[in-house]
Amino acid sequence: MRWLPGLILLLSCGACATTGVRPEGPKVLSLDIEGTDEIGAGEVKDKILTSEPSWYKKLLPWLPFGEDPRFDRNAWRSDLRRITRYYQARGFYEATVVSDRILTEDGQPVRPGMELPDKVRLGVEVREGLPSRVSEVDVNGLESVPADLQLRVTHRLPLGEGDVFVEERWTALKEQIVARLREEGFAEAALEAEALIDVATREVRLRVEVEPGRRYTFGRIFISDGPDAVVTPSRIVDQARNVIREGQVYSETALADAQSKVMLMGVFGSVKVNRGMVNRDEGTVPVVIEVAEAPFHTVRAGAGVGVEAFRTELRLLGEYVNRDF
């Protein structure tokens, strides 16, 4: 362990050599959030600006790694509102910040108007209340869609009756309905939705009005390449047609698969496969493939020297790649 004293000396020197402008505001020594029964305190801390030292900085405060968190009164006031808003986003509309505290290093309260000390300890007490739950999910507008497809579109959505109303899952529900319809050929599927929240009863009713539109099939494939392209468009189309053919029901997964097929040709630096403007008269969606060719000839070279007690090696490495051999 000969290196240990040297490492300690290096860390100590690094700490001593650190210079620069001292950040404004007192150092934050700790941040405690109390009353978090349903949502963890660590999760709440991740959603606010004010932070506390990491565990290793608490254990070894002299380490030069990382910055010491600082306290700002304006940010703190905003954080108290952020805590309430985060609880609301998780379905706890009764949640409130009961109290907050700013303490000195030895635990004495810092009164309003007092000058802040060099180091502070922070605390927040929250009252979570009870969560609001989904009492009804009403999805309308799928009457023109085949019955089996209706079941696939509405099967196991991210939010259902009895679930706590979480805004993130509500967004995912809407996105999933549209994505499933587009996967089944409804390229222009859209919807309008609203969540009716009764804070008194803690019930949430979800209303979704779907506009599936027409069911489309794939149309022609178009290639967009550079002016000096070497690969002929027909070769690119042949690869794409392994997963996309004219008359096939439109699917966004098929677009992604076609992009992978073309990329696997190994001669392109970038490949993008997108849908073109839909042809409502014919009920088709054209496919546009944009490609940028990588260099067809690559040369790389390198050298190295290896020295040992009884041997010295000189290594020369070279590589030539022809991507159109």
User: Mind listing the pLDDT tens digit for each residue in 158-179?
Assistant: 999 999 999 999 999 999 999 9
Note the pLDDT of residue 59. Answer: 79
Instruction: Return the closest-CA partner of residue 172 out of 158, 160, 183.
Output: 158
Note the pLDDT of residue 310. Answer: 63
Greater pLDDT, 295 or 83: 83
Averaged over 254-268, what is the pLDDT?
Answer: 94
Of the pLDDT bands very low, low, confident and very high (cuts 50, 70, 90), residue 322 is: low
Note the pLDDT of residue 277. Answer: 95
| Reported pTM | 0.77
Report yes or no: 138 and 46 within 8 Å, Cβ to Cβ.
Answer: no
Note the pLDDT of residue 217. Answer: 97
Assess whether pLDDT exceeds 80 at residue 255.
Answer: yes
Averaged over 220-227, what is the pLDDT?
Answer: 91
Note the pLDDT of residue 7. Answer: 34
R_g of the chain computed on alpha carbons: 31
Averaged over 151-159, what is the pLDDT?
Answer: 95
Averaged over 199-221, what is the pLDDT?
Answer: 96
Of the pLDDT bands very low, low, confident and very high (cuts 50, 70, 90), residue 289 is: very high
How high does pLDDT run on average in the chain? 88
Q: What does the block give as tokens for 31? A: 């941040």
Averaged over 119-145, what is the pLDDT?
Answer: 96
Note the pLDDT of residue 300. Answer: 74
Residue 306: φ, ψ to 5°: -120, 125
Averaged over 64-91, what is the pLDDT?
Answer: 92
Note the pLDDT of residue 177. Answer: 97
User: Mind listing the pLDDT tens digit for each residue in 3-13?
Assistant: 434 333 333 44
Of the pLDDT bands very low, low, confident and very high (cuts 50, 70, 90), residue 283 is: very high
Assess whether pLDDT exceeds 80 at residue 279.
Answer: yes
DSSP output for 169-229: HHHHHHHHHHHHHHHTT-TT-EEEEEEEEETTTTEEEEEEEEE-----EEEEEEEE--TT-
Instruction: Return the closest-CA partner of residue 261 out of 215, 221, 321.
Output: 221
Note the pLDDT of residue 254. Answer: 97
Q: How far apart are CA 8 and CA 125, in angstroms?
A: 40
Q: How far apart are CA 204 and CA 132, in angstroms?
A: 7
